[in-house]
A = this chain, B = another copy of it.
Amino acid sequence: MEWTREKRYLPYSKWDADTLLYLQAQAANSPYQMHYHLHPISGLINDPNGFSYFNGEYHLFYQSYPFGAVHGLKSWVHFKSTNLVNWINLGLAVEPDTMADSHGAYSGSAKEIDGKLFLMYTGNHRDENWIRTPYQIGAWMDKDGKVKDKTILFKNPEHITEHFRDPQILKQGDTYYAILGAQDKAEKHGHIDVWKSKNLKNWEELGFLDMGTDPMGYMIECPNIVRVDGHVVVIFCPQGLDKKIAKYEDIYPDMYIIADDIDFENHKLINPGKLHNLDKGFDVYATQAFNAPDGKAYEISWVGLPDTTYPTDDENWANCLSQVKELAIKDGKLIQRPVSAMNDLHTDEKEVKDQVIAEKAGQQYELKLTIKANQKGNLHLAANTDLTGGLQINFDTENGKLVLDRSKTDRQVSVDYGETRETDLAKNSDLKLDIFVDHSLIEVFVNDGEAVLTGRYFEDQANTKLAFDQPVDYSGKLWQMKTIL
């Protein structure tokens, strides 16, 4: 089947229900499907949207194209949770059903305001000549889950191109602010554009956020501001970023800056630090973060990349979301940790201590290890019997290096961008690893969240051996993880 433009933008009402039921069953039956991470009900998912707390529960949406593994006509699918781990699927919530979002209800954010959830997102509109206009839209979700009263808030101003999207709604004092990804017309550089409003109706542009950096490639997507332990963290995706400014390996990076504070009115960060990669692994993009009413900062990421094919494209579905992580700052560095309710998914706790941890570890587990200092070795995951295939984590706790290697897995992804990712460790030190495996997703938390390496991998699901390649001095625990969806 050829995915023509016409086909990708066909209204959902022109697809037949039998096809959708078939695609839903196909995604559900895939051996690669995740079972304790949010994943597609059918088709392709991308950015998390509207991550928020409303009416006593956490809410989350994701970008969805239900009819195949392509970026077609996008909508928002809705989930809610009481603990950030067990999610209820509430189905299609924001449809591309107005002029302003006719070609996609694109990414955005949400905030509880006066007993309703205010959604602010980008409507993608194209005219008959395929000229794009990005409308920033406000909408309101009731407690019964119905999204109503879509209103156009503003368009891209004269000095910004059609690349103007992904608003995050924020409040400081009695003023609302929105930050958006933008490309300026003059230089075609990426920026975060700051807007303000007193009433959510009339909006005024304040200007590009001064982050104390060189130009940020040709576009910034999915900017987020979140307050963490007395600092301001800006998370964003600078597409086309010059690698001299900051090194990265994926096709597009997902980065962050820590600052002392933000001055919205003067659209500048106060004492911003350097650019860092948010994740040291593969496939993490479009992270969305927010401050819950208790002040805690949470983030969730799309695990998937733009302009990238994955093996499940053959099964008409693609991508997933990461687990939710809680953010902290320690010694000036961003710390990302599993939320406490992840422990509620545990079953079958096992102490582990042998070279072969499990001949059959299964497809849904958490493995927590402390590897003693001054050792080198390889941890094999999703491996075959003789450990020649599968994932590898190469560690060197003497010289301080950890490498996640997916080169030996069954079906490769994005080999042009490298098959390994690495992170530095403290030298001559014990190494703590907290590893989550979910069928075709691995998330490795290093030293209590000082680094995270995430990645998709595609291995024969019969291969679930979990073993070191030589005797290693370590201690650890292994849990099977319950299914949430």
Binding site for B on A (CB under 8 A): 11-22, 24-29, 31, 35, 66-67, 78, 86, 88-93, 95, 144-146, 482-483, 485
Nearest to A35 among chain B residues (CB) is B88
Nearest to A25 among chain B residues (CB) is B91
Q: Which residues of B contact A15 (CB under 8 A)?
A: 16-18
* Contact in complex: A90, B18 (CB < 8 Å): no
Cα A83 to Cα B366 with chains together (Å) = 20
Q: Which residues of B contact A31 (CB under 8 A)?
A: 144
> 30 A-B contacts, Cβ less than 8 Å apart?
A11-B18, A12-B21, A13-B16, A13-B18, A15-B16, A15-B17, A16-B16, A16-B17, A17-B17, A17-B19, A17-B20, A17-B66, A17-B67, A18-B95, A20-B20, A20-B21, A21-B66, A21-B91, A22-B92, A25-B78, A25-B92, A25-B93, A25-B145, A26-B91, A28-B89, A29-B91, A29-B145, A31-B144, A35-B88, A86-B483
Nearest to A97 among chain B residues (CB) is B18
CB distance from A397 to the nearest CB of B (A): 37
Q: Which residues of B contact A24 (CB under 8 A)?
A: 91-92
Cα A145 to Cα B26 with chains together (Å) = 9
CB distance from A38 to the nearest CB of B (A): 14
Nearest to A29 among chain B residues (CB) is B145
Cα A25 to Cα B14 with chains together (Å) = 19
* Contact in complex: A17, B28 (CB < 8 Å): no
Cα A225 to Cα B363 with chains together (Å) = 36
Which residue of B17, B28, B90 contacts A29 across the interface (Cβ within 8 Å)? B90
Cα A461 to Cα B22 with chains together (Å) = 34
Number of copies: 2
A interface secondary structure, majority:
mixed
Known: A12-B17, A15-B18. 20 other contacts (CB 8 A): A12-B16, A12-B18, A12-B21, A13-B16, A13-B19, A14-B16, A15-B17, A17-B17, A17-B19, A17-B20, A17-B66, A21-B92, A22-B92, A24-B91, A25-B92, A25-B93, A26-B91, A27-B91, A28-B91, A86-B482
Q: Which residues of B contact A27 (CB under 8 A)?
A: 91
Q: Which residues of B contact A21 (CB under 8 A)?
A: 12, 20, 66, 91-92
Cα A88 to Cα B29 with chains together (Å) = 10
Q: Which residues of B contact A18 (CB under 8 A)?
A: 11-13, 15, 95
Q: Which residues of B contact A88 (CB under 8 A)?
A: 28, 35, 483, 485
* Contact in complex: B17, A144 (CB < 8 Å): no
Cα A31 to Cα B22 with chains together (Å) = 28
* Contact in complex: B25, A17 (CB < 8 Å): no
The 5 A-B residue pairs whose C-beta atoms are closest, nearest first, are: A25-B91, A15-B17, A12-B18, A29-B145, A13-B18
Cα A20 to Cα B92 with chains together (Å) = 10
Cα A95 to Cα B89 with chains together (Å) = 24
Q: Which residues of B contact A90 (CB under 8 A)?
A: 25, 28-29
Cα A78 to Cα B21 with chains together (Å) = 12
Q: Which residues of B contact A35 (CB under 8 A)?
A: 88
Nearest to A26 among chain B residues (CB) is B91
Nearest to A144 among chain B residues (CB) is B29
Q: Which residues of B contact A17 (CB under 8 A)?
A: 12-13, 15-17, 19-20, 66-67
Q: Which residues of B contact A29 (CB under 8 A)?
A: 90-91, 144-146
Q: Which residues of B contact A14 (CB under 8 A)?
A: 16
CB distance from A20 to the nearest CB of B (A): 4
Cα A28 to Cα B78 with chains together (Å) = 10
Q: Which residues of B contact A482 (CB under 8 A)?
A: 86
Which of A19, A29, A483 has the most C-beta atoms of chain B within 10 angstroms of its own C-beta? A29
Which of A12, A66, A146 has the most C-beta atoms of chain B within 10 angstroms of its own C-beta? A12
CB distance from A79 to the nearest CB of B (A): 10
Q: Which residues of B contact A145 (CB under 8 A)?
A: 25, 29
CB distance from A460 to the nearest CB of B (A): 13
Q: Which residues of B contact A19 (CB under 8 A)?
A: 13, 17
Cα A89 to Cα B16 with chains together (Å) = 21
CB distance from A208 to the nearest CB of B (A): 38
CB distance from A241 to the nearest CB of B (A): 37
Cα A17 to Cα B145 with chains together (Å) = 20
Cα A78 to Cα B26 with chains together (Å) = 12
Q: Which residues of B contact A93 (CB under 8 A)?
A: 25
CB distance from A89 to the nearest CB of B (A): 6
